[in-house]
Amino acid sequence: MLRIGVKIMKKIDFTMADLQPMSLGYEEGQYVTREVLKRAEKAYQYFHNKYLELVASGVEPELRDLLISHDASLEDFVGRVRQVVKLGYYYDSMGVFSVYLEYNDTYAELRDYLNSRGSIDV
């Protein structure tokens, strides 16, 4: 017997609690130090691994797009912080301001999506 077009849905456990370790630990105006870079890299790696796992599971397009956007914003933030630290402009918080705002926007969109659902269907 062949079944065509049947999609089996399973629940994925991905909640707001999963987003907490992805927090940058950075606030607007804070000095951009090696410690900020270290925390940002850790947050990015954690999220990137979770993102790859979820996308491979076949999440719905809306969530996939939110995950892609947030992953890209984290990657941009890490890249900009790495650049600022490398140049030694630790006081230059304006050097990361635009990517920090983008991170905040994508985080808020993902948070709102997760808060609107009890679980994620895949």
Q: Which of 83, 66, 64, 77 is nearest to 121 (CA)?
A: 64
Which pLDDT tens digit goes with each residue over 40-68? 999 999 999 988 988 888 888 898 999 99
- Cβ(44)–Cβ(72) under 8 Å? no
pTM, entire model: 0.79
How many angstroms separate the CA atoms of 6 and 31, rounded?
Answer: 53
Give kind and range of the element (H or E) at residue 33. none
**Mind listing the pLDDT tens digit for each residue in 61-115?**
898 999 999 999 999 999 999 999 998 877 767 778 889 999 999 999 988 988 8
* Domain layout of the chain by residue ranges: 11-117
